[in-house]
Amino acid sequence: MSETEDVKNNPEPDQPAKLKNKKNVTVAFKLNGKNYPLWYRLMKVKIGGRGAYSHIRNEPPEPGSKGYDDWEEDDLVVFSWIVDNIEDGIIADFAHHLTTKALWDTLAITFENKADKYLIYDLEEKAITIRQGDLDLETYYRRINGLWINIDRCQKQPITCCDKGVNQYRVHSNEKRLFKFLTGLNPEYDSIKREILKEDPYPSVEAAYGWVKTEAARRNTMPPASSPPTEVVGNYAGDTSSGEIRIGFAAQNQRPSPRQGPPPRPGS
């Protein structure tokens, strides 16, 4: 049997595996209408990871065309992946679509533009008000960086005129976010914050986080020494236990010298 005849008689090994044999797709949360930007990203990664990206990107073939039946079977699988990750309360508004791309495009039209302004406001407010507080350094950075990532996904690029304008906007945006990151840190990092702000140009937020993380590790390994006991500063003595503040040298002159004897008795 020739190689050509063998391929004709055994076509399956050269064919891609059916999507129905792939594992079901599940993301961290279901679409509820308010979380579309991140849901969209997670679903896109999952669908692309299953080798089915074309079903949300390309127009479907004509019904009855060659290979249409196989394509439709796969498309129904991808359709089910999306529907399974939508909240029950809104599934009925979208389940009537005939193809995955039609469903995907309708979800974008319904949620992307209408929700963006409100989402950006909410995310920006959270990014402005977040503080490290009781959070460890890694958690604080992860949360504020996650907010910025979601903001960038929601809003459109405000500058598209030229490469120079885009780069200038990115530098300006990085500076604002760097200041916000540093402002939210606890006071124990004030010294490293001053060092970062001396840099010209300013480092990226990621680089600044690396500096702060190194400082945090140093502080854990070499904690600052305890404060020295209170001493006389200038001409003032710091003894306030009696409610009095005495002038340093004058107070010392009023104290009896340990080498002198007791004061003379009257009439002696």
Q: What is the pLDDT of residues 5-51, one digit of tens each?
A: 443 344 333 334 477 667 788 888 899 877 887 898 899 999 998 88
Average pLDDT across the chain, whole number: 77
Q: What's the predicted TM-score (pTM) here?
A: 0.49
- Residue 243: left if φ>0, alpha if ψ -120 to 50, beta else—which one? left
The mean per-residue pLDDT over the stretch 159-187 comes to 83
What residue spans define the domains of the chain? Answer: 1-114, 130-221
Hey, is 185 helix, strand or coil?
coil
User: Which of residues 171 and 257 earns the better pLDDT score?
Assistant: 171
Distance CA 32, CA 87 (A): 6
Reading the block at residue 124, the tokens are 């920006």
pLDDT in tens, 111-149: 875 556 777 788 889 999 999 999 999 999 999 998 887
Question: Is 90 exceeded by the pLDDT of residue 237?
Answer: no
> What are the residue ranges of helices labelled H in 96-204?
100-107, 113-129, 137-154, 163-184, 190-197
Percent pLDDT > 70 in the chain is 70
